Structure 1
Amino acid sequence: MLEKLYQCIIIDHDYRLVLLAAVICAFSCFTAINLQQHTAGSQKQYRNRWLILTGIAAGIGVWATHFVAMLAYDAGSPKSYDLLPTLASILIAIILMGAGFAIYTNRENKLSLHVAAWVMGLGIGAMHYTGMSGLHIWGAFSYDMTWAISALIIGIIGCTGTLLCLERLRGVKGQVWAAVCLTLAICGLHFTAMTALTVTPDPTVSQTEGTVSDGVLLVAVTLATFMVLASALATGIVDKHLADRRTVEARRLRNLANAAMEGIVLLDGKGAVVDANHSFLGLCGRHLEPLRGMPFTVCFQRLEFDPDRRSAWFVNDAILIGANEKEIPTEIFFRPVQDRIGAQMVAIVRDIRERRAAEQQINFLAHHDSITGVANRAVFQKQLEHAVSKGSSGRHAPKKHALYFVDIDDFKELNARLGHAAGDAALKEVAERLKKVVGDQGLVARLSADQFCILHDGVEHNDDADTFALALKTALVAPFPVADKPVSLTASIGIAMHPNDAQDPEVLLLRAEIAMKRAKLEGRGKYCFFEPVIDEKLEERRALKQDLLQALGRHELYLQYQPQYHAHSRKLSGFEVLLRWRHPEKGLISPGEFIPMAEETGVINEISIWMMNEACRAAKTWPASLGLAVNMSPIQFEQDGLVEIIGRIVRRHGLTPDRLELEITESILIADEHRALRILKKLKEAGMRLAMDDFGTGYSSLSYLQTFPFDKIKIDRSFVMQMDDDSHSVGIVRGVIGLAHGLGIPVLAEGVETEAQLALLQDMGCDEVQGFLLGRPERIEDYADQITALEQHAEQTA
């Protein structure tokens, strides 16, 4: 078989024309591959144009190779060609080769590559056999199908190799190997197919009139080759078109540069202006043409440009001379550029006026309170330290200062009632009034949400400080509108004198605060001077706080239980658990004294968990009809995972959640209403009961009843205990019971101490009662008989 292939190529063909055909094939294949690479890298809107050029180059290359090789073929008799099959063959080559490259270029998966190779291989074969159908020789044609099919396989394999080279290799190397594979595919298919051909001389077969001779075909092939060269020329034309597009793109980039907020200036090696965007021209108030060629530094004050510098550098504070000689602070980034003719450096000019203003604002905020505009804590402490040190370092008697610690009374309630915006407006008004009184005689500062401090210079006597404090008090009490409502504020003021009360600034501030707390205890709108006895009492309180932190670990805390009864039957309904502290030295400490301390120190969370564990451990031994009421602190509602903690305690001791009743005071809701209501809903969803404690003592209890469905309302003892002598209290209690029953909420009255009070409550329809009349707070063991009797009664009833 190889002998037949050898005979076909070497003996039956003119080797010179065979080499020519191979050269034409290789040239056209490389051109087609190059065009395909342009196709792959072009934008989608231009891809079809490149595909057409690729198809033309590849198709003509295949066709020219075939017919040059046919000119080299010596069949032993004259030959000619039909025009139509000859023209059809070139169209088939162009269409199928173009289709193959299109499938490959737009491939979506690996199968597309093989489909493209089959289309291209079959295209070469179709062109060959279409061209052969137009060949006329004085003889009869016959084909060896083995060789014919082998030719198609060689063409498909060669095209597959071509596309795989394009897929896996990059650059010129990929183009060369792809062109080699395509050349082998075309030449291999042609000469293998020609080996399959056998021509049997037959004098009876003659050439048909109107056919193409070898000479005509030679001209046609020459034209075809020229068209291949023309396709390369077309590539240049397209490249020119792309260059135009790049010009358009450059114009677009310039427009983008003009749209930039920063000024952009291109400079030559000597620092002269080559080009500039609109932002820079607008900033300096100049036109581009007069500015071109001028030194960049003429637009600035005392700016130096280093022409020998080839790396990037930065100028932090450059003053640009703008229109009307306006001085504009800027910062400049210099960077080298390599891709612009005539430009070697780019300067990016940034207007920093807004940043300077922001920095000034930040500097102001660093030293002043953001809401009121007075000095903040940091500035006040520095001024206080300076005043104390300066007053203590003179040769003569130390210069005296008065320090006023001002705390706005009931400011949290004002915030809750009118909103934070109104609260801020009130603070601004307070600050303005304080500054007006102080004038240039001192410094006003805001230390915290509702606390101000005033450092008053040149105070000779306590009488002067007294007069000044009275002026402050008078200035604050005058009403002013907030949120379209008249507001009148009072303040508790503490006064400490330097150097009499303290010579250390921190101690002086602390003692002014101590005096303020003493004034607050005496009532609203008071002022008080520091006295050592006040400090002693506060020291005792601080010591008691420290003891409270260790009280739980020392087992000094214990629980008492006050029974609750059904009002009409006097049947035991449950217990309210109460916390007690027996101090080892001071004895029993009132809950009203140590509970606020526990909340201030945060130990209330740890104590509350212990308290609930102990109470639930006791309650699990009671009959199921008895409930357990536990008071909740506002601090607990700031604790993350409160609902999960309570749930775990209840489950640990085997209680059903509905036996646990959590008593909520209005202060919990005032602190953070949205967070509190969200937690209350989760507790209720967990099955626990919720009671509104001390109902009627606040100002917004009715709104909370509307917002959240409580399971019980507890009337505060202050109303119940006055029912014997005060008809107004009777009316309030009766109204609360009627309101609650109208909402479907049961009522418990606290502080029942007389039979007359109980009778009145029974007559009003009160549901439950508790108080000294029926049972005092005791240890749970003291009520063991009542619990046992209730349990036995329940068993007998069952």
Structure 2
Amino acid sequence: MRFFTCLTGDHNLWLVGLAAALCLIGSIITFRLFRRLRAAEKGARPAWTFMGAIATGATIWCTHFVAMIAYEPGTAIRYEPMLTGLSLGVAMLGSGLALWVASRAMRGAAELGGVLFGLTVTAMHYTGMAGFATDAVIHWSTAYVGASVAGAVVFGGLAFHLARRPGKLGPVVLMVLGIVALHFTGMAAMTVIPLAPLTDASVGDSANVALAFAVAAVGLMILGAGVATYVLDLQFRIQAKARLEHLLEGSVDGMVVAQDGVVLSANAAFADLVGVDHGALVGEPLSRWIADAAHLRTGALTQSRIAGPAGAEIPVEIAVRRDGGHAVESDIMIYAVRDLRTRLAQERRIAHLARNDSLTGLPNRSSFLEWLTRQTADPVPSGKVALLAMDMDRFKEVNDVHGHAAGDQLLIQVAERMRATLRPGEFVARLGGDEFVAVVPVQHREDALDLAERLRDAVTAPVVLDHAEVSCGLSVGIAVWPDDADNASALINDADLAMYRAKASLSVDICFYEEEMDEAVRVRRRMAQQMREALDQGQFSLNWQIQAAVDTGAVTGYEVLLRWIQPDGTFVSPADFIPLAEENGLILPIGEWVLRTACAEAAAWPVPHKIAVNLSPVQLGHVDLPRLVHQVLIETGLSPSRLELEITETAMITDMERTTHVLRQLKLLGVSIAMDDFGTGYSSLSTLRAFPFDKIKLDRSFMSELDGGPESAAIIRAVLALGESLHIPVLAEGVETLDQLSFLRDQGCDEVQGYLLGRPQKTAEAEVQPAARVLWNPDRVTAAA
């Protein structure tokens, strides 16, 4: 009752209302500044602490001073200026300290700050009361003083405790209650006994009211400065938030801004990712979608899972950044959430493509080698592993007739059939094109036939394409580890050899590897490899065989002959390696080397004899041959009239139109064209009619059979007559005896070439051998003998 009596009887209620209004406004501003202080960056915290100290101190002091002016003890009252000013300083300094402590990230910091705030209100009040001067006797109640201090401390602690929570009204009410309780309980603790009566109360009341409003105006100006600062900062923060939201919405990744684990803002990408309406995200705990959000490491990329629509887990990559970089409990955290479903799907697809064929889905070469290596490295229960090398027959016909799209459809269906025929432990893969392999553990060699026959039946069954029904065969070669090879590489080679034997056979399509039968293929492969090395290491060389006129014996030119002598001195016959070079395409670089080297050597001769260079059908079919010949002639400086290119009838027949076009281009360069091995082809006369050759070379087989009967002599006479009729010189190859040379001279042959004139040499001979010169110089017969 003393508290209420003091409030209603001893105070001017209008001024009390003014004090209460100041206290309410100041409390609202105080806690707004306090929340801004807690969220401020480290560098801005002193400024916000200062503003909070000014606003809070002004709130406490103005409330106290206006309430003191409202106090009417019935005697004149004066206020000591020094102590009154000191009370304002105590209010501001204490408030600043309380706000700074309460904003720390320590446990219980808010409550400690509230206690300091209550003590600050107490110190300010009783410092101000010490400056209270009047002509009266003052008695103090210790109980009321203690109650005022307890009320200020309790309400202050509760106010700052609630200030760290989302609510806004509770802290303001508690702060007002703390200040009011302190002041009016403290005033109730004081009993004033006047010593002299108040003479003119009306004048005192008017002065007090004027003073109260002046104090309130000053207080409001101080609070207004705090409000203006807060408003300007709030406007800046709103603009920054708008920019942040613009940046968030511009990101393709999900972006979330959270404070104290609560979502402040999120973009549409994150809302779509979690399947929640964009507006429903704000204010919700982030842990609802990111369970481990509180444990994510700042500045690091973390792969995690978030809760998606209907409880589905979505793999994501989360990057966390602390806004402002200050370490307080109310940090604003920015989460960048990237959906990994597409990337993981692509990674799975890439991993699948790395190990599987992109067209058929079967394992590819890499998977096959890994599987075979594992099978042959680790002991298997059966002790043997069979490797099946398979190649489809007539597949090229499907591509040529129906197109490559149809060929792809065929491969897809064949692969599905192969996969369907497999049993546990069996493996099939596609190496490329129409080549397949299979691996199966076996107990005996013959056990592999079961898988081979099943795969053959799957492949050879008719396949219905879009517009046709096609059927292909299957050639299978089987090699068994460790019977046929002791390592995976040799096993693959053996199965491949057996497959080529099956492909070449007309009666069987499944062949086991047999070392004796497959040795020829192995030798050819080894020779092909050695040929590549010979070209790189310069093991090839050129020999020159002389050509002479029949009537005079004068040297007319030289034919270039390719020789291959291996480092161990072994001579490899051109009849062995030239066909192999044509098969694997090495004839192109070898032929270019022969042409370039021969032209370079001939260009350095003192006598400008003609040189003859053989062209392979493979070279002749190459569209760049005229350009190559022209380039070589320019580089070596050899006159085009000295170069004679020899071709066979077989090369002409393969593609008459294209070959004729290429030969005409060569003729335009000034190069001579000779038909080699004339008489051994299929359509010699039609070939001569198709292109105007500069020379005909009669095949050496006619010379070797000249003594065997009249047929060869008759054919030679016919060829020579044909050449004379067409005005094409004829050169006879393989002349080895004087009788052959004499016969040719009698029949009007133009030129000859053979061992009788001279064997091939590394350098061009100046003249023919003595054994042949006796025909043109009878006086030297005895010497030659």
Name the TM-score, length of structure 2 as normaliser: 0.50
Which protein has the larger Cα radius of gyration, Structure 1 or Structure 2? 2
Name the TM-score, length of structure 1 as normaliser: 0.49
